[in-house]
A and B are shown apart, each in its own frame.
Chain A
Protein backbone atom coordinates (compact mmCIF):
# COMPACT_ATOMS: atom_id res chain seq x y z
CA UNK A 1 0.00 0.00 0.00
CA UNK A 2 2.66 2.46 1.14
CA UNK A 3 4.99 1.68 -1.74
CA UNK A 4 2.09 2.24 -4.10
CA UNK A 5 1.66 5.68 -2.63
CA UNK A 6 5.29 6.64 -2.48
CA UNK A 7 7.05 6.63 -5.85
CA UNK A 8 10.65 5.45 -6.15
CA UNK A 9 11.84 8.99 -6.71
CA UNK A 10 10.94 9.90 -3.13
CA UNK A 11 12.70 6.92 -1.61
CA UNK A 12 16.17 7.51 -2.94
CA UNK A 13 18.66 9.50 -0.89
CA UNK A 14 18.27 13.07 -2.03
CA UNK A 15 19.76 15.91 -0.01
CA UNK A 16 18.19 18.50 -2.32
CA UNK A 17 14.74 17.05 -1.63
CA UNK A 18 15.27 17.02 2.14
CA UNK A 19 16.47 20.62 2.05
CA UNK A 20 13.47 21.62 -0.03
CA UNK A 21 11.03 19.95 2.36
CA UNK A 22 12.72 21.56 5.36
CA UNK A 23 12.63 24.95 3.64
CA UNK A 24 8.92 24.61 2.87
CA UNK A 25 8.12 23.42 6.38
CA UNK A 26 10.10 26.21 8.05
CA UNK A 27 8.54 28.84 5.77
CA UNK A 28 5.02 27.56 6.49
CA UNK A 29 5.72 27.42 10.23
CA UNK A 30 7.10 30.96 10.22
CA UNK A 31 4.06 32.23 8.38
CA UNK A 32 1.80 30.62 10.96
CA UNK A 33 3.83 31.67 13.99
CA UNK A 34 4.45 35.24 12.92
CA UNK A 35 1.29 36.54 11.26
CA UNK A 36 1.25 40.07 9.90
CA UNK A 37 -1.51 42.32 11.23
CA UNK A 38 -3.20 44.78 8.90
CA UNK A 39 -1.05 47.88 8.76
CA UNK A 40 -2.57 51.17 7.62
CA UNK A 41 -4.74 49.47 5.03
CA UNK A 42 -2.06 47.01 3.90
CA UNK A 43 -2.97 43.34 4.11
CA UNK A 44 -0.15 40.86 3.64
CA UNK A 45 -0.98 38.68 0.60
CA UNK A 46 -0.06 35.49 2.48
CA UNK A 47 -2.94 36.14 4.85
CA UNK A 48 -5.54 37.11 2.29
CA UNK A 49 -8.26 36.06 2.68
CA UNK A 50 -6.75 33.72 5.31
CA UNK A 51 -3.58 31.72 5.83
CA UNK A 52 -5.76 28.60 5.48
CA UNK A 53 -5.72 28.94 1.68
CA UNK A 54 -1.95 28.42 1.73
CA UNK A 55 -2.14 24.64 1.10
CA UNK A 56 -4.19 25.22 -2.06
CA UNK A 57 -1.88 27.95 -3.29
CA UNK A 58 1.06 25.70 -2.48
CA UNK A 59 -0.42 22.76 -4.34
CA UNK A 60 -1.27 24.99 -7.28
CA UNK A 61 2.38 25.91 -7.58
CA UNK A 62 3.65 22.41 -6.84
CA UNK A 63 1.54 20.88 -9.60
CA UNK A 64 2.19 23.76 -12.03
CA UNK A 65 3.87 22.63 -15.25
CA UNK A 66 6.49 25.36 -14.92
CA UNK A 67 7.61 24.33 -11.45
CA UNK A 68 7.36 20.65 -12.37
CA UNK A 69 10.06 21.24 -14.94
CA UNK A 70 12.18 23.02 -12.35
CA UNK A 71 11.95 20.52 -9.53
CA UNK A 72 12.16 17.50 -11.79
CA UNK A 73 15.39 18.95 -13.07
CA UNK A 74 16.95 20.55 -10.02
CA UNK A 75 15.58 18.55 -7.11
CA UNK A 76 15.01 15.09 -8.58
CA UNK A 77 17.72 15.38 -11.25
CA UNK A 78 15.61 13.62 -13.86
CA UNK A 79 17.65 14.98 -15.65
CA UNK A 80 19.56 17.88 -14.12
CA UNK A 81 20.54 19.19 -17.57
CA UNK A 82 19.74 18.49 -21.18
CA UNK A 83 23.38 17.96 -22.06
CA UNK A 84 23.90 14.23 -22.23
CA UNK A 85 27.18 14.56 -20.35
CA UNK A 86 26.79 14.67 -16.57
CA UNK A 87 23.03 14.79 -16.53
CA UNK A 88 23.03 12.53 -13.45
CA UNK A 89 20.19 10.35 -14.66
CA UNK A 90 20.53 6.67 -15.48
CA UNK A 91 18.77 3.35 -15.58
CA UNK A 92 19.93 2.40 -12.08
CA UNK A 93 17.81 5.14 -10.62
CA UNK A 94 14.15 4.35 -10.11
CA UNK A 95 11.84 6.44 -12.22
CA UNK A 96 8.06 6.48 -12.54
CA UNK A 97 7.48 10.01 -13.83
CA UNK A 98 3.91 11.10 -13.28
CA UNK A 99 2.47 7.60 -13.39
CA UNK A 100 2.59 6.43 -9.80
CA UNK A 101 1.65 7.24 -6.22
CA UNK A 102 1.29 10.81 -5.13
CA UNK A 103 2.84 12.08 -8.37
CA UNK A 104 -0.45 11.23 -10.04
CA UNK A 105 -1.75 14.36 -8.37
CA UNK A 106 0.02 16.34 -11.12
CA UNK A 107 -2.86 15.29 -13.34
CA UNK A 108 -5.31 17.21 -11.15
CA UNK A 109 -3.55 20.54 -11.54
CA UNK A 110 -6.74 22.08 -12.93
CA UNK A 111 -8.52 21.79 -9.56
CA UNK A 112 -5.80 23.81 -7.87
CA UNK A 113 -6.12 26.27 -10.72
CA UNK A 114 -9.80 26.68 -9.89
CA UNK A 115 -8.92 27.44 -6.27
CA UNK A 116 -6.25 29.92 -7.38
CA UNK A 117 -8.80 31.71 -9.57
CA UNK A 118 -11.22 31.83 -6.64
CA UNK A 119 -8.59 33.57 -4.50
CA UNK A 120 -7.59 36.15 -7.13
CA UNK A 121 -10.31 38.77 -6.36
CA UNK A 122 -8.93 39.15 -2.84
CA UNK A 123 -5.70 40.62 -4.21
CA UNK A 124 -7.70 43.34 -5.92
CA UNK A 125 -9.88 43.89 -2.89
CA UNK A 126 -6.73 44.36 -0.78
CA UNK A 127 -5.43 46.83 -3.33
CA UNK A 128 -8.69 48.77 -3.09
CA UNK A 129 -8.54 48.77 0.73
CA UNK A 130 -4.94 50.02 0.66
CA UNK A 131 -6.04 53.05 -1.35
CA UNK A 132 -9.27 53.87 0.47
CA UNK A 133 -8.63 52.83 4.07
CA UNK A 134 -8.78 56.46 5.24
CA UNK A 135 -12.15 57.02 3.65
CA UNK A 136 -10.68 59.07 0.82
CA UNK A 137 -8.22 58.17 -1.90
CA UNK A 138 -4.54 57.87 -1.11
CA UNK A 139 -1.92 56.37 -3.37
CA UNK A 140 1.19 55.11 -1.65
CA UNK A 141 4.22 53.21 -2.82
CA UNK A 142 2.86 50.13 -1.08
CA UNK A 143 -0.31 50.25 -3.19
CA UNK A 144 1.75 50.28 -6.36
CA UNK A 145 3.60 47.26 -5.05
CA UNK A 146 0.31 45.52 -4.24
CA UNK A 147 -0.96 46.38 -7.73
CA UNK A 148 2.13 44.90 -9.37
CA UNK A 149 1.72 41.81 -7.23
CA UNK A 150 -1.94 41.43 -8.21
CA UNK A 151 -1.14 41.82 -11.91
CA UNK A 152 1.76 39.35 -11.80
CA UNK A 153 -0.31 36.72 -10.01
CA UNK A 154 -3.23 37.26 -12.39
CA UNK A 155 -0.96 36.82 -15.40
CA UNK A 156 0.63 33.76 -13.81
CA UNK A 157 -2.73 32.14 -13.08
CA UNK A 158 -4.25 32.85 -16.47
CA UNK A 159 -1.16 31.76 -18.39
CA UNK A 160 -1.60 28.26 -16.90
CA UNK A 161 -1.50 25.29 -19.27
CA UNK A 162 -4.64 23.79 -17.75
CA UNK A 163 -6.41 27.08 -18.37
CA UNK A 164 -5.22 26.92 -21.96
CA UNK A 165 -6.84 23.53 -22.32
CA UNK A 166 -9.98 24.74 -20.58
CA UNK A 167 -10.59 27.72 -22.85
CA UNK A 168 -10.22 25.86 -26.11
CA UNK A 169 -7.07 23.76 -26.15
CA UNK A 170 -9.08 20.58 -25.89
CA UNK A 171 -11.16 21.48 -28.95
CA UNK A 172 -10.07 20.37 -32.40
CA UNK A 173 -12.43 22.45 -34.47
CA UNK A 174 -13.06 26.07 -33.56
CA UNK A 175 -15.05 26.86 -36.69
CA UNK A 176 -17.53 24.10 -35.80
CA UNK A 177 -18.41 25.85 -32.54
CA UNK A 178 -20.80 28.65 -31.86
CA UNK A 179 -18.62 31.77 -31.50
CA UNK A 180 -15.58 29.77 -32.54
CA UNK A 181 -13.75 32.77 -33.96
CA UNK A 182 -13.83 34.66 -30.65
CA UNK A 183 -12.92 31.52 -28.72
CA UNK A 184 -9.92 31.06 -31.02
CA UNK A 185 -8.93 34.68 -30.50
CA UNK A 186 -9.03 34.27 -26.72
CA UNK A 187 -7.11 31.00 -27.03
CA UNK A 188 -4.44 32.66 -29.19
CA UNK A 189 -4.01 35.55 -26.78
CA UNK A 190 -3.79 33.17 -23.86
CA UNK A 191 -1.21 31.12 -25.80
CA UNK A 192 0.93 34.25 -26.04
CA UNK A 193 1.10 34.69 -22.26
CA UNK A 194 1.31 30.92 -21.83
CA UNK A 195 4.65 31.05 -23.65
CA UNK A 196 5.94 33.12 -20.69
CA UNK A 197 4.38 30.94 -18.01
CA UNK A 198 7.71 29.95 -16.46
CA UNK A 199 8.90 33.54 -16.17
CA UNK A 200 5.56 34.59 -14.69
CA UNK A 201 5.64 31.70 -12.23
CA UNK A 202 8.97 32.84 -10.82
CA UNK A 203 8.33 36.56 -11.07
CA UNK A 204 5.06 36.25 -9.16
CA UNK A 205 6.62 34.02 -6.50
CA UNK A 206 9.57 36.31 -5.90
CA UNK A 207 7.29 39.34 -5.87
CA UNK A 208 4.83 37.97 -3.34
CA UNK A 209 7.72 37.27 -0.98
CA UNK A 210 8.94 40.81 -1.55
CA UNK A 211 5.48 42.21 -0.72
CA UNK A 212 5.39 40.16 2.47
CA UNK A 213 8.81 41.50 3.49
CA UNK A 214 7.79 45.06 2.60
CA UNK A 215 4.71 44.95 4.81
CA UNK A 216 6.62 43.25 7.61
CA UNK A 217 9.19 46.03 7.42
CA UNK A 218 6.44 48.65 7.74
CA UNK A 219 4.95 46.83 10.72
CA UNK A 220 8.42 46.74 12.28
CA UNK A 221 8.51 50.53 11.99
CA UNK A 222 10.96 50.93 9.11
CA UNK A 223 9.81 54.05 7.25
CA UNK A 224 10.07 52.94 3.61
CA UNK A 225 6.55 53.77 2.47
CA UNK A 226 5.79 57.04 0.72
CA UNK A 227 2.63 58.85 -0.16
CA UNK A 228 2.61 59.54 -3.88
CA UNK A 229 -0.74 61.23 -4.15
CA UNK A 230 -3.54 61.95 -1.71
CA UNK A 231 -6.96 63.33 -2.39
CA UNK A 232 -7.75 65.76 0.41
CA UNK A 233 -11.42 66.55 0.69
Chain B
Protein backbone atom coordinates (compact mmCIF):
# COMPACT_ATOMS: atom_id res chain seq x y z
CA UNK B 1 0.00 0.00 0.00
CA UNK B 2 1.23 3.46 -0.84
CA UNK B 3 1.82 5.87 2.02
CA UNK B 4 0.82 9.48 1.87
CA UNK B 5 4.35 10.73 1.72
CA UNK B 6 5.05 8.68 -1.40
CA UNK B 7 5.60 10.76 -4.46
CA UNK B 8 5.28 9.91 -8.10
CA UNK B 9 6.61 11.42 -11.30
CA UNK B 10 4.01 12.13 -13.92
CA UNK B 11 4.86 13.14 -17.46
CA UNK B 12 2.17 15.08 -19.25
CA UNK B 13 2.08 15.52 -23.01
CA UNK B 14 1.97 19.18 -24.02
CA UNK B 15 1.17 20.62 -27.39
CA UNK B 16 -0.72 23.65 -28.53
CA UNK B 17 -1.24 23.05 -32.27
CA UNK B 18 -1.43 26.80 -32.86
CA UNK B 19 2.02 27.41 -31.37
CA UNK B 20 3.99 24.19 -31.18
CA UNK B 21 5.23 22.26 -34.17
CA UNK B 22 5.96 19.25 -32.00
CA UNK B 23 4.62 17.84 -28.78
CA UNK B 24 6.81 17.43 -25.69
CA UNK B 25 6.54 16.02 -22.19
CA UNK B 26 6.56 18.01 -18.99
CA UNK B 27 7.41 16.22 -15.79
CA UNK B 28 5.80 16.88 -12.41
CA UNK B 29 6.27 15.53 -8.94
CA UNK B 30 2.99 14.64 -7.26
CA UNK B 31 2.26 13.28 -3.76
CA UNK B 32 0.39 10.01 -3.82
CA UNK B 33 -2.65 9.38 -1.70
CA UNK B 34 -4.38 6.08 -1.16
CA UNK B 35 -6.90 5.26 -3.88
CA UNK B 36 -5.60 8.03 -6.11
CA UNK B 37 -6.37 7.83 -9.84
CA UNK B 38 -4.44 9.36 -12.73
CA UNK B 39 -7.01 12.13 -13.09
CA UNK B 40 -6.36 13.15 -9.46
CA UNK B 41 -2.69 13.48 -10.26
CA UNK B 42 -3.39 15.60 -13.34
CA UNK B 43 -5.78 17.77 -11.34
CA UNK B 44 -3.12 18.16 -8.66
CA UNK B 45 -0.73 19.43 -11.32
CA UNK B 46 -3.25 21.91 -12.73
CA UNK B 47 -3.99 23.16 -9.21
CA UNK B 48 -0.45 23.40 -7.89
CA UNK B 49 1.90 23.82 -10.84
CA UNK B 50 0.40 24.79 -14.16
CA UNK B 51 -3.14 25.91 -14.85
CA UNK B 52 -2.66 26.04 -18.60
CA UNK B 53 -2.74 22.26 -19.08
CA UNK B 54 -5.82 21.35 -21.11
CA UNK B 55 -7.64 18.32 -19.73
CA UNK B 56 -11.24 17.23 -20.17
CA UNK B 57 -13.31 15.37 -17.63
CA UNK B 58 -16.81 15.47 -16.19
CA UNK B 59 -18.05 12.64 -14.03
CA UNK B 60 -14.87 11.22 -12.47
CA UNK B 61 -16.86 7.99 -12.19
CA UNK B 62 -16.14 6.26 -15.53
CA UNK B 63 -19.54 7.24 -16.88
CA UNK B 64 -19.06 10.15 -19.27
CA UNK B 65 -16.08 8.87 -21.23
CA UNK B 66 -14.50 12.30 -21.60
CA UNK B 67 -11.23 11.63 -19.74
CA UNK B 68 -9.96 9.02 -22.23
CA UNK B 69 -6.18 9.17 -22.67
CA UNK B 70 -3.12 7.03 -23.29
CA UNK B 71 -1.56 6.12 -19.99
CA UNK B 72 1.86 4.51 -20.28
CA UNK B 73 0.91 3.61 -23.84
CA UNK B 74 -2.42 1.98 -23.07
CA UNK B 75 -5.69 3.73 -23.91
CA UNK B 76 -7.51 4.09 -20.58
CA UNK B 77 -9.85 6.35 -18.65
CA UNK B 78 -7.83 8.67 -16.40
CA UNK B 79 -10.54 8.55 -13.74
CA UNK B 80 -10.57 4.76 -13.57
CA UNK B 81 -6.84 4.07 -13.61
CA UNK B 82 -5.33 3.86 -10.17
CA UNK B 83 -1.86 5.26 -9.67
CA UNK B 84 -0.82 2.33 -7.48
CA UNK B 85 -1.36 -0.05 -10.42
CA UNK B 86 1.21 1.78 -12.50
CA UNK B 87 4.98 1.94 -12.37
CA UNK B 88 7.22 4.62 -10.94
CA UNK B 89 6.77 7.10 -13.79
CA UNK B 90 3.37 7.71 -15.35
CA UNK B 91 3.18 9.09 -18.89
CA UNK B 92 -0.10 10.62 -19.98
CA UNK B 93 -0.84 11.40 -23.61
CA UNK B 94 -3.96 12.33 -25.54
CA UNK B 95 -5.63 9.78 -27.82
CA UNK B 96 -3.40 10.13 -30.88
CA UNK B 97 -5.92 8.59 -33.25
CA UNK B 98 -7.90 11.85 -33.15
CA UNK B 99 -7.07 15.46 -34.03
CA UNK B 100 -5.50 17.27 -31.11
CA UNK B 101 -7.22 20.29 -29.57
CA UNK B 102 -4.59 20.97 -26.94
CA UNK B 103 -2.45 18.92 -24.55
CA UNK B 104 -4.63 16.02 -23.38
CA UNK B 105 -7.78 17.07 -25.20
CA UNK B 106 -8.71 15.65 -28.60
CA UNK B 107 -11.55 16.28 -31.00
CA UNK B 108 -13.65 13.13 -31.25
CA UNK B 109 -16.36 14.68 -33.42
CA UNK B 110 -15.65 12.42 -36.38
CA UNK B 111 -17.21 9.64 -34.34
CA UNK B 112 -20.53 11.42 -34.11
CA UNK B 113 -20.48 11.92 -37.86
CA UNK B 114 -19.76 8.22 -38.44
CA UNK B 115 -22.62 7.43 -36.10
CA UNK B 116 -25.02 9.67 -37.97
CA UNK B 117 -24.10 7.99 -41.25
CA UNK B 118 -25.19 4.57 -39.95
CA UNK B 119 -28.67 3.52 -41.13
CA UNK B 120 -30.81 4.24 -38.12
CA UNK B 121 -33.24 2.03 -36.27
CA UNK B 122 -35.90 1.09 -38.82
CA UNK B 123 -38.84 -0.71 -37.23
CA UNK B 124 -40.60 -3.60 -38.94
CA UNK B 125 -44.10 -2.86 -40.10
CA UNK B 126 -45.83 -4.10 -37.05
CA UNK B 127 -48.59 -2.63 -34.99
CA UNK B 128 -47.55 -0.67 -31.97
CA UNK B 129 -47.06 -1.16 -29.09
CA UNK B 130 -44.30 -3.68 -29.76
CA UNK B 131 -44.17 -6.52 -27.36
CA UNK B 132 -40.57 -7.57 -27.05
CA UNK B 133 -39.43 -10.60 -25.15
CA UNK B 134 -36.63 -10.00 -22.66
CA UNK B 135 -34.50 -12.76 -24.17
CA UNK B 136 -34.50 -10.90 -27.47
CA UNK B 137 -33.14 -7.61 -26.19
CA UNK B 138 -30.36 -8.88 -23.94
CA UNK B 139 -27.80 -9.17 -26.72
CA UNK B 140 -28.24 -5.68 -28.09
CA UNK B 141 -28.34 -4.28 -24.57
CA UNK B 142 -24.70 -5.16 -24.00
CA UNK B 143 -23.70 -2.50 -26.51
CA UNK B 144 -25.91 0.11 -24.88
CA UNK B 145 -23.45 0.18 -22.01
CA UNK B 146 -21.07 2.10 -24.28
CA UNK B 147 -20.05 5.43 -22.73
CA UNK B 148 -18.56 6.72 -25.98
CA UNK B 149 -15.06 7.15 -24.64
CA UNK B 150 -13.70 6.02 -28.03
CA UNK B 151 -10.77 4.22 -26.42
CA UNK B 152 -11.58 1.27 -28.67
CA UNK B 153 -11.31 3.47 -31.74
CA UNK B 154 -8.01 4.86 -30.45
CA UNK B 155 -6.44 1.44 -29.88
CA UNK B 156 -7.65 -0.14 -33.14
CA UNK B 157 -4.61 -0.52 -35.38
CA UNK B 158 -6.75 -0.21 -38.51
CA UNK B 159 -8.00 3.23 -37.45
CA UNK B 160 -4.73 4.35 -35.99
CA UNK B 161 -2.04 2.92 -38.23
CA UNK B 162 -3.69 2.54 -41.62
CA UNK B 163 -5.86 4.49 -44.02
CA UNK B 164 -8.86 2.38 -44.93
CA UNK B 165 -12.60 2.86 -45.01
CA UNK B 166 -13.05 0.90 -41.78
CA UNK B 167 -15.30 2.78 -39.37
CA UNK B 168 -13.95 1.10 -36.25
CA UNK B 169 -15.10 -1.08 -33.38
CA UNK B 170 -17.39 1.39 -31.60
CA UNK B 171 -19.45 1.84 -34.75
CA UNK B 172 -19.64 -1.86 -35.61
CA UNK B 173 -20.91 -2.40 -32.06
CA UNK B 174 -23.51 0.27 -32.66
CA UNK B 175 -24.55 -1.41 -35.93
CA UNK B 176 -24.72 -4.77 -34.14
CA UNK B 177 -26.89 -3.33 -31.39
CA UNK B 178 -29.37 -2.19 -34.03
CA UNK B 179 -29.08 -5.34 -36.14
CA UNK B 180 -29.72 -7.63 -33.18
CA UNK B 181 -32.73 -5.64 -32.07
CA UNK B 182 -35.81 -7.82 -32.68
CA UNK B 183 -37.95 -4.93 -33.93
CA UNK B 184 -35.39 -3.61 -36.41
CA UNK B 185 -35.86 -4.56 -40.05
CA UNK B 186 -32.42 -3.89 -41.55
CA UNK B 187 -29.29 -6.01 -41.91
CA UNK B 188 -26.35 -3.66 -41.67
CA UNK B 189 -23.73 -6.34 -42.36
CA UNK B 190 -24.15 -5.53 -46.07
CA UNK B 191 -23.32 -1.86 -45.75
CA UNK B 192 -20.63 -2.66 -43.16
CA UNK B 193 -18.92 -4.90 -45.69
CA UNK B 194 -19.42 -2.85 -48.83
CA UNK B 195 -18.93 0.67 -47.54
CA UNK B 196 -17.66 0.63 -44.01
CA UNK B 197 -14.67 -1.68 -44.31
CA UNK B 198 -15.67 -4.43 -41.84
CA UNK B 199 -13.25 -6.82 -43.60
CA UNK B 200 -10.27 -4.72 -42.46
CA UNK B 201 -10.73 -5.78 -38.87
CA UNK B 202 -8.44 -8.76 -38.31
CA UNK B 203 -10.04 -9.77 -34.98
CA UNK B 204 -6.97 -8.95 -32.90
CA UNK B 205 -9.28 -7.87 -30.06
CA UNK B 206 -7.45 -4.82 -28.71
CA UNK B 207 -10.75 -2.92 -28.71
CA UNK B 208 -12.23 -5.56 -26.45
CA UNK B 209 -9.17 -5.41 -24.21
CA UNK B 210 -9.38 -1.68 -23.53
CA UNK B 211 -13.15 -1.16 -23.29
CA UNK B 212 -13.80 0.22 -19.77
CA UNK B 213 -17.35 -1.12 -19.92
CA UNK B 214 -16.02 -4.61 -20.66
CA UNK B 215 -18.14 -4.87 -23.78
CA UNK B 216 -17.07 -7.93 -25.76
CA UNK B 217 -16.81 -5.83 -28.89
CA UNK B 218 -15.00 -8.38 -31.06
CA UNK B 219 -16.68 -11.54 -29.79
CA UNK B 220 -20.22 -10.24 -29.59
CA UNK B 221 -20.43 -7.53 -32.25
CA UNK B 222 -17.66 -7.72 -34.85
CA UNK B 223 -17.46 -11.49 -35.29
CA UNK B 224 -21.26 -11.91 -35.45
CA UNK B 225 -21.39 -9.13 -38.05
CA UNK B 226 -18.60 -10.84 -39.99
CA UNK B 227 -20.58 -14.08 -39.87
CA UNK B 228 -23.68 -12.29 -41.12
CA UNK B 229 -21.59 -10.72 -43.86
CA UNK B 230 -20.32 -14.20 -44.80
CA UNK B 231 -23.97 -15.31 -45.09
CA UNK B 232 -24.63 -12.59 -47.62
CA UNK B 233 -21.33 -12.35 -49.48
CA UNK B 234 -19.12 -15.40 -49.27
CA UNK B 235 -21.11 -18.51 -48.39
CA UNK B 236 -22.71 -19.82 -51.61
CA UNK B 237 -25.24 -21.98 -49.77
CA UNK B 238 -26.42 -19.20 -47.47
CA UNK B 239 -26.53 -16.79 -50.40
CA UNK B 240 -28.81 -19.17 -52.26
CA UNK B 241 -31.06 -19.65 -49.23
CA UNK B 242 -31.17 -15.88 -48.82
CA UNK B 243 -32.20 -15.42 -52.44
CA UNK B 244 -34.94 -18.02 -52.22
CA UNK B 245 -36.26 -16.45 -49.01
CA UNK B 246 -36.19 -13.02 -50.56
CA UNK B 247 -38.18 -14.19 -53.57
CA UNK B 248 -40.66 -15.99 -51.32
CA UNK B 249 -41.36 -13.04 -49.06
CA UNK B 250 -40.81 -10.46 -51.78
CA UNK B 251 -39.30 -8.24 -49.13
CA UNK B 252 -36.15 -6.30 -48.87
CA UNK B 253 -33.71 -8.02 -46.58
CA UNK B 254 -31.04 -5.41 -46.93
Contacts and interface: CB of A to CB of B under 8 A. Distances in A.
Q: Do A and B bind each other?
A: yes
Interface of A: 65, 68-69, 72-73, 76, 78-79, 82-87, 89-91, 93, 95-99, 104, 107-111, 161-162, 164-165, 169-170, 172-176, 180-181, 184, 194-195
Contacts of B234: 104, 107-108
A97 B201 contact: yes
Contacts of A111: 235
Contact of A65 (B133, B161, B203, B233): B203
Nearest to B124: A173
A82 B206 contact: yes
20 contacts: A68-B203, A79-B204, A84-B96, A84-B154, A91-B162, A95-B162, A97-B202, A98-B201, A107-B226, A108-B235, A110-B230, A161-B223, A162-B227, A165-B227, A172-B136, A173-B182, A174-B135, A175-B136, A176-B182, A181-B135
- Bin the interface of chain B by size: 35 or more
Contact of A99 (B133, B200, B210): B200
B206 A165 contact: no
A110 B229 CA distance: 12
Given A72-B203, A83-B73, A169 B158 contact: no
Contacts of A162: 227, 230
Interface string B124-144: 000000000101100000000
Contacts of A83: 72-74
Contacts of B145: none
A84 B136 contact: no
Contacts of A170: 224, 227-228, 231
A221 B158 CA distance: 53
Given A82-B74, A174-B135, A91 B161 contact: yes
A99 B226 CA distance: 12
Contacts of A96: 200
Contacts of B203: 65, 68-69, 72
Nearest to A100: B199
A145 B154 CA distance: 45
A99 B229 CA distance: 12
A110 B226 CA distance: 12
Contacts of A76: 202
Contacts of A78: 157, 202, 204
A95 B163 CA distance: 9
B34 to A, nearest CB: 27
B205 A84 contact: no
Given A84-B160, A174-B136, A79 B206 contact: yes
A90 B162 CA distance: 6
A97 B234 CA distance: 16
Contacts of A108: 230, 234-235
Contacts of B160: 84
Contacts of A97: 158, 164, 166, 199-202
A91 B228 CA distance: 29
B172 to A, nearest CB: 13
A82 B202 CA distance: 13
A97 B222 CA distance: 14
B219 interface: yes
Contacts of B204: 69, 72-73, 78-79, 82
A184 B133 CA distance: 12
A96 B201 CA distance: 9
